[in-house]
A and B are shown apart, each in its own frame.
Chain A
Amino acid sequence: MRPEGEPVALDATDRALINALQEGFPLCDEPYAAVGASLGLDEAEVLRRLADLLERKVLTRFGPLYQIEKLGGAFVLAALKVPEADFERIAAIVNAFPEVAHNYRREHALNMWFVLATETAAGIADAIRRIEAATGLAVFAFPKEREYFVELKLDAG
C-alpha cells in the first residue's frame, strides 16, 4: 500500500487558517475580513493564502457543502471490481460521469470506490445503469441505511 501524495509544506499561519475555515464561514458582508480579524490577518492576506491553498490543492474546495438529500437528491457509495490491466481506462470512464462526486482507488478486490450524487433519488439507479453499460462491470451499491456520524474536519496541526 503506497498512499499517493506527499504532505505539503504549510506554515503556522496556513494551518491556523485551514483550521479556522473548517469551522464555518460567517454570513456577513466582508467575511474574509472577519475571519482574518480572528487570526490577526488582514483581508488581502486571507484571500491570498486561501487562493494559494486551493491552487496547491491543500484544500479541494471552499464554499457551501451541500447535503443533497435535504434538497430532494441522493448520495450513494458504490464500488467496482476492476481488472488491474484495465484500471486507468475504467477510471477515466467513471470519472467522466458528472454524477461521480469523488472516486478513490482502494486496496481490495473491490478496488474502485466512488460516491454518486444526483439531484433526484431516481437519478442514482439511472446513473448506476449507465455506468454498468459504459464499463461492462457490475456496480456494487452501498446506500446508507443509517448515518451515525459525519464530520468533515481534519486537524491541520
Chain B
Amino acid sequence: MPDEIDRRLILATQAGLPLVPRPYHALAERLGIAAVEVEARLAALLAAGAIRRIGAVPNHYALGYRYNGMTVWDVEDEKVDALGAAVGALPFVTHCYRRPRHLPEWPYNLFAMVHGRDRAEAESHVATIAALLGTACRAHEVLYSSRILKKTGLRLSD
C-alpha cells in the first residue's frame, strides 16, 4: 500500500507531470524529498502495477478516430472467460472486460472497445469479434460515443 509520501506524489502528479526540463526535480522540490527518491518511488509504483505507465493519453477524435464503439456481447457464461481472453488479444481491441448483466434490459456480459477512423473500419472490427464469438454469443450491440462530456482522469482529493 502507498505511504503518505506516495500519496502526496500521486496528488502532485495526477493532473500531469511538470513540463520543465527536470520534472522529477520539480516534484522533489514540492514534496521536500530528493529527486532520486521521486524517481525510485515512481519506479516502485510502476513495478507494483499502481502506475500502468507514464505517458500521454490521446484524444481519440483528435487523432482521427471518430468512431469509438463500446461493443457489448451476451456470451454464454461457461465460455465467456476463454472467449474474452481471445477478444482481448485482437490487435484493435483497447479494453476488454467481463461485467455483470442487468436483466431484463441489459443482457450483455462482455465489453470490448474498438476504434475506427471511419464507420466501415469500426464495423469491420465488430464483424471480426462477432465471427470469433460465433454461436456462443446470443446478441450484441455497439454503443458509439457521440460526445466526450468529461475526461479528466483520476482525481484524489487532498
Residues of A within 8 A of B (CB): 1-8, 10, 18, 21-25, 27-33, 43, 47, 50-51, 53-54, 56-68, 70-72, 77, 91, 94-95, 98, 100-110, 112-114, 117, 119, 140, 142-154, 156-157
Contacts and interface: CB of A to CB of B under 8 A. Distances in A.
Which secondary structure characterizes the binding site on chain A? mixed
Contact of A21 (B45, B56, B156): B56
B127 interface: no
Given A59-B56, A59-B57, A64-B10, 14 more contacts: A7-B66, A29-B35, A31-B24, A60-B151, A62-B57, A64-B14, A65-B54, A65-B153, A106-B145, A114-B150, A146-B81, A146-B98, A148-B85, A156-B63
B19 interface: yes
- What 3 pairs between A and B have smallest CB-CB spacing? A149-B88, A148-B88, A5-B61
B146 A150 contact: no
B63 A157 contact: yes
A29 B23 CA distance: 8
B51 A29 contact: no
B146 A1 contact: yes
A149 B112 CA distance: 9
A24 B39 contact: no
A94 B49 CA distance: 29
Nearest to A32: B21
Contacts of A65: 51-55, 57, 153
A58 B62 contact: yes
A32 B21 CA distance: 6
Given A2-B146, A107-B144, A67 B49 contact: yes
Given A6-B61, A60-B58, A154-B94, A104 B19 contact: no
Interface in B1-28: 1-2, 10, 13-17, 19-25
A70 B1 CA distance: 8
Contacts of B88: 148-149
B70 interface: yes
A140 B103 CA distance: 11
Contacts of A58: 58-59, 62-63
B106 A95 contact: no
Given A145-B99, A156-B63, A102 B49 contact: no
B59 A57 contact: yes
Contact of A148 (B10, B63, B87): B87
B51 A105 contact: no
A57 B56 contact: no
B43 interface: yes
